[in-house]
Amino acid sequence: MGTPIAYFRGRWMPLEEATVSIATHALNYGTGCFEGIRAYYNKASDRLFLFRVREHYERFHASCRILRIEVPHSVDELCQLTVELLRRNPMRQDVYVRPLAFKADPVIKVSLDGIADQFGLFAVPLGDYLPTQGIHVMVSPWRRIDDNAVPARAKITGSYINTAIAVSDAHAAGFDDCIFLNEDGHVSEGSAANLFMVRKGALVTPPVTDNLLEGITREVIFELARDQQIPVVERHIDRTELYVAEEVFLVGTGVQVVPVVSIDHRPVGEGQMGPITQSLQALYFATVRGENLRYQHWLTPVE
């Protein structure tokens, strides 16, 4: 790969030139929205496949609507720009694409009104964000942000300080990641991933009203599980249910499908990846790399 190319201020430029002032509103107040989109490399066909790119940009538009940011491109245009971005940055490996829209004026003003918006797009190589064979987590003493304070269903840049504080404390305590509870004391999600557990052969996950991101990978797991005749239940989850679950795993664009093998120093099930997690993980990776024809409608090839 040569000089990385980004799309910023309506044109293509070297990534190193896509910069902002330290007075930029979003840098000072966290007033931006972003997405994380993966493209997977299939070595056999020598092709990249964007995974569910349209759904990501639909969510991107929804996040920006909440934060009163005008996106200068339609969902279709954003999909086309992303394909072009990967053509201009040819990479024979897995890739992470980052669209970002933010309040751009250099102004000292705690508000969303009367401030110009800007959009940028770039891509970087990215392998596994967390170990896919199993992680050790803790239940964080920090609570998940509440919808009536900072909405978790929007991917707002400033809100990820909630994740940064919690996951840094988890790392300092010797864990790989953490699980958030909401203000009601129910399980919400991982630090930056949705959570599933297995109880009595069924997949159980918190509802989106428990202050979690409406995950695209979460929806994928719903469909993969139902196609495998695995029942899926959305309901509140108590903290101690995690300690007696047969399996627990986290899902997200970044983390993909990651088994949790211990929580608060208690083994989950047998203390290793369980059979349902293993089956869904294998199906997920086959799907995103274009090896499973049943779900090819989720893929956008980069020719």
Catalytic residues: 155
Average pLDDT per consecutive 10 residues, the chain (303 residues; last block may be shorter) = 92 98 98 98 95 98 98 98 97 96 97 97 95 96 96 96 98 98 97 97 97 98 97 98 98 98 98 98 97 96 91
Q: What are the sequence ranges of the domains in the chain?
A: 5-125, 135-288
Q: What is the pLDDT of residues 32-61, one digit of tens each?
A: 999 999 999 999 999 999 999 999 999 999
**The pLDDT of residue 88:** 97
CATH, range 5-125: 3.30.470.10
**The pLDDT of residue 303:** 83
Tell me if 5-125 shares its fold with 135-288: no
Phi-psi region of 172 (alpha: psi -120 to 50; beta: other; left: phi over 0): alpha
**The pLDDT of residue 2:** 80
Domain 135-288: which CATH number of 3.40.50.1950, 3.30.565.10, 3.20.10.10, 1.10.645.10: 3.20.10.10
Q: How far is the C-alpha of 14 from the C-alpha of 8, rounded, in Å?
A: 9
Nearest Cα to 110, choosing from 43, 170, 52, 158? Answer: 158
Percent of all residues in the chain with a pLDDT value above 90, rounded to a whole number: 99
**The pLDDT of residue 1:** 60
Q: Please give the model's pTM, rounded to 2 decimal places.
A: 0.96
Nearest Cα to 190, choosing from 140, 146, 240? Answer: 140
